[in-house]
Amino acid sequence: MASDEESAAVDTIEMPAPTAWPLFAAFGIALAFAGLVTHVLVSIVGVALVAAGAVGWWRDVLPEERVEHVPLRPPEARAAAVVPAPEKVAHLQVGRELHRVRIPVEIHPYSAGIRGGIVGGIAMAAVAMLFGVISHGSVWYPINLLAAAAVPSLAQASVAQLASFSALGLFVAVIVHVIMSLFVGLLYSVTLPMLPRYPVVWGGLIAPLLWTGMVWASLGIVNPTLNQRIDWWWFVGSQIAFGLAAGLVVSRSESVRTVQSWPLAARAGLEARGVSPEKEPHE
């Protein structure tokens, strides 16, 4: 008997026996919460399943744990022993630049994103108003279209009404346009350093086309009036004008190193001679 047990210990490995009781307990918890929005009987059944699952699970481990012996592969089929390689490993030194995989290592200052958003917003507004003048003889047409998402009266207005001046429409359109321009400009300052080469191409062409696709897919719900009366060629042109102007302003600004390039002691806030790097101001 002893020799049989020793042979089993050598040729098998002891593992916890499989059990389905945790699934019963989990299903019971789901039913218990589902009963809060359906019927109390569902919760009662769920609590009963939780109790049964808990008892069954405990009996699998108390007073003695249920185990099973999994047979091992023959020695010739097992993985070979690990043999240390004679080559040396180059260890990273704390504080050296460019040893982190986090991206980006440098970003543009936030002030550059704000400036880029302002310049891009002006370029975009100029193209949009040019569209209004050419298509409807009025600079107020695109402005009122933009404000129609938040002003119900403009959403139901005729073409003639949209082409006329509206103080409320101008106020709402300016607020929406300024907020969106500044937000996208700040995104440019953070994301452009992460894109491979040619940031103006990414920010001036690829990003506006992707944004146009997203707007085209959702505009029917967000602003049905604008969706029915928009000229997509002019819309794409205004987005590209924003992207080129904002991308040029942001990409030409001086980059700021991120904190990840600092030594560990500096990132931890320790103040000591020879420890603190020359911290560049984050604007």
pLDDT digits (tens, 9 = 90+) for 194-233: 776 777 777 777 778 777 777 777 777 766 666 777 777 8
Query: DSSP H helical segments within the chain, as ranges?
Result: 2-11, 21-34, 40-61, 110-136, 140-147, 152-155, 159-162, 167-191, 199-201, 207-222, 224-229, 232-251, 264-267
Same domain, 249 and 165: yes
Whether the CB-CB separation of 120 and 193 falls below 8 Å is answered with no
For residue 159, the enclosing domain spans 106-260
Burial of 123 (0-12, 13-18, 19+ CB in 10 A): buried
41 is a domain residue: yes
Residue position matching structure tokens 């993985």 = 79
Omega within 30 of 0 (cis) for the link into 104? yes
- In-domain check, residue 139: yes
Question: Which residues in the chain land under pLDDT 70?
Answer: 1-10, 89-105, 196, 222-226, 259-283
Contacts of 212 (CB under 8 A, 6+ apart): 232, 235, 236, 239
247 and 115 both lie in a single domain: yes
Q: What are the backbone angles phi and psi of residue 173, rounded to the nearest 5°? A: -65, -40
Same domain, yes or no: 156 and 43: no
pLDDT at 281: 44
Residue 13: strand pairing partners: 70
Residues 152 and 58 in one domain: no
Instruction: With respect to residue 16, please indicate whether it lies within any of the assigned structural domains.
Output: yes
Instruction: Tell me: do 148 and 63 sit in the same domain.
Output: no
- Indicate whether 15 belongs to any domain: yes
- Do residue 125 and residue 55 come from a single domain? no
Alpha carbon distance 108, 50 (integer Å) = 55
Distances (CA, A) of 126 to 43, 89, 166, 238, 249: 62, 59, 18, 8, 17
* Domain tally, the chain: 2
Helix (H) or strand (E) segment spanning residue 165? none
Classify residue 85: in a domain, yes or no.
no
Is there a single domain that holds both residue 66 and residue 131?
no
Q: At residue 71, what are phi and psi to the nearest 5 degrees?
A: -65, 140
Task: For residue 32, tell me if it sits in a domain.
Answer: yes
Residue 276 lies inside a defined structural domain of this protein: no
**Domain of residue 51, CATH code:** 1.10.287
In the 8-state DSSP scheme, what is residue 138? -
Q: What is the pTM of this model?
A: 0.52
* Residue 5, in any domain of the structure: no
Question: 130 and 60: one domain?
Answer: no
Same domain, 242 and 113: yes
pLDDT at 186: 84
